[in-house]
Amino acid sequence: MRVTDRLLAHRDKMTPSERQLVSVLLDDYPMAGLGSITELASTASVSTTTVARMLQKTGFDGYPQFQAALRGEVKEMISGPVAKRDVWQNDLPEEHILNRYSQRSLANQKRTIDEIDPDEFDSFCSLLSDQNRRIFITGGRITGTLAQYLYLHLQMIRPDVRLLPVAASWTHDLLDVRQGDVLIALDVRRYENASLLIGQLCHERGAEIVLLTDQWRSPIHRLAKHTFAARISVPSAWDSMAAILTLMECAIAEVQERLWDSVKDRTVELEQAFDRTKLFRKFGQSSGS
């Protein structure tokens, strides 16, 4: 289990001071736990005894073991493609790539969905369905393709959806962000500085932030109203975005149903535009028509 999983799994059985300590760790994760035990206790306004007791409840033998687990997660967060492959190559089952990769990818999708709080997902869909709010979407070098996918679908479903370009011109778009707007940020390891800056600027302008990230969680999570952590590790030098895509498609399907009356009208109008532009090929059309 990740350190965050262990902390959250035992939080209901903790004392108020221990829960306060857990909140401090999660608010600045993982950095809050990488200093000395005295520094952590001081930051959380608890005693070092409280720190030791909380760690014991979560299954750690002591502070050194807790920090070793944190450092292991940090190493995973910043791993490049070569390092990721090195981790997998010594532990691959004797199976065809179709089996070993797809099985892990499917397991990632199932675990990701299983770990999502349905109430939090519903709240996320409520933000997307509120047509008084404008939606801004941003992704990074790889997740930008997912951002584009989400943008195209939401734009068909409702008005006032904007994709922030990866290039520096996104600063122009942020001039229009106002209180109550929504920023959907996609950011996975190795977390991108531009994505964090966009999150910070939108947060300062009063936007609600929804973060789609990995199991280690992008630094943007400290600003986010909702954070959805997907499992992305697969037997490859590159991570899998399948779990994030599944989550996005669940949200698209739900928002479509909530807004169906207006979605139907938008879709009819869009199809008429497609017919006029001859974007799609009709059955029976000749190649010269």
The pLDDT value given to residue 289: 45
| φ, ψ at 191 (rounded to 5°) | -60, 140
39 occurs within a structural domain:
yes
Tens digit of each residue's pLDDT (9 = 90 or more) over 224-247: 999 999 999 888 888 999 999 999
104 occurs within a structural domain:
no
The pLDDT value given to residue 215: 87
63 occurs within a structural domain:
yes
Residue 147 has pLDDT above 90, yes or no: yes
107 occurs within a structural domain:
no
Query: Do 147 and 216 sit in the same domain of this protein?
Result: yes
Tens digit of each residue's pLDDT (9 = 90 or more) over 251-271: 999 999 999 999 999 999 999
Structurally, the chain folds into a number of domains equal to 2
| φ, ψ at 228 (rounded to 5°) | -115, 115
Query: Do 249 and 152 sit in the same domain of this protein?
Result: yes
Query: Do 123 and 255 sit in the same domain of this protein?
Result: yes
202 occurs within a structural domain:
yes
CATH number at residue 41: 1.10.10.10
Query: Do 140 and 264 sit in the same domain of this protein?
Result: yes
| DSSP for residue 221 | G
Reading across the β-sheet that carries 208-214, which strands appear in turn? 161-163, 135-138, 182-186, 208-214, 226-230
Query: Do 132 and 22 sit in the same domain of this protein?
Result: no
Range of the domain at 121: 113-276
- Output b/e per residue, 90-111; b: 16+ Cβ within 10 A: eeeeeeeeeebbeebbeebbee
CB atoms within 10 A of CB 282: 8
| 135-142: average pLDDT | 95
Query: Do 157 and 251 sit in the same domain of this protein?
Result: yes
Query: Do 132 and 209 sit in the same domain of this protein?
Result: yes
| DSSP for residue 88 | H
Query: Do 138 and 263 sit in the same domain of this protein?
Result: yes
268 occurs within a structural domain:
yes
Residue with tokens 């397991």: 107
